[in-house]
Amino acid sequence: MLFAELGPRELHAIASVLKREELKAGDILIRPGEKNSSIYLTLSGKIIMYENYETPDQKEVRIIEANDYLNFGPNISGLPPVNTSVVVEDAEVLIVPHVQLMELIKVYPQIIINGTKLAAMKLRELGWSA
């Protein structure tokens, strides 16, 4: 979805900057407050985003499975993440580093348009509207 409406040339440019990584259950991918300047596109597995991880107030915020993404908002805003993302089933992800993403967005602005649509849909799923 993030790269929907892009043509073969654009998709090839994006593929050239992706890094594939395998994650194991129990890995903590993103921690609140820590700089993490990549977007993760999930190919397989399951990652859960938690608020107040490992505290009595722990709350599941979002489940990320195949064909989903995470860390888009913090990456684009430049603000640190506020939740903890934990791999709960072995996962395979594609990593888009921030610097390369920013260069791609300059050339292919449809990426940011798609990202904004996805973020709005996620907020709506959470019952938020603006």
Rounded Cα–Cα distance for residues 20 and 54 (Å): 28
Q: Give the CATH number of domain 8-124.
A: 2.60.120.10
Rounded Cα–Cα distance for residues 88 and 91 (Å): 8
**Tens-digit pLDDT profile for residues 82-121:** 999 999 999 999 998 888 888 888 888 887 787 778 777 7
| 93 CB neighbour count, 10 Å cutoff | 25
* Per-residue pLDDT at 130 exceeds 60: no
Is the Cβ–Cβ distance between 67 and 42 less than 8 Å?
yes
Is the Cβ–Cβ distance between 2 and 115 less than 8 Å?
yes
Q: What is the pLDDT of residue 36?
A: 77
On average, the pLDDT of the chain sits at 86
Q: Is the pTM of this model over 0.85?
A: no
Residue type, 63: I
82 compared with 128, residue with greater pLDDT: 82
Domain ranges of the chain: 8-124
Q: What is the pLDDT of residue 121?
A: 77
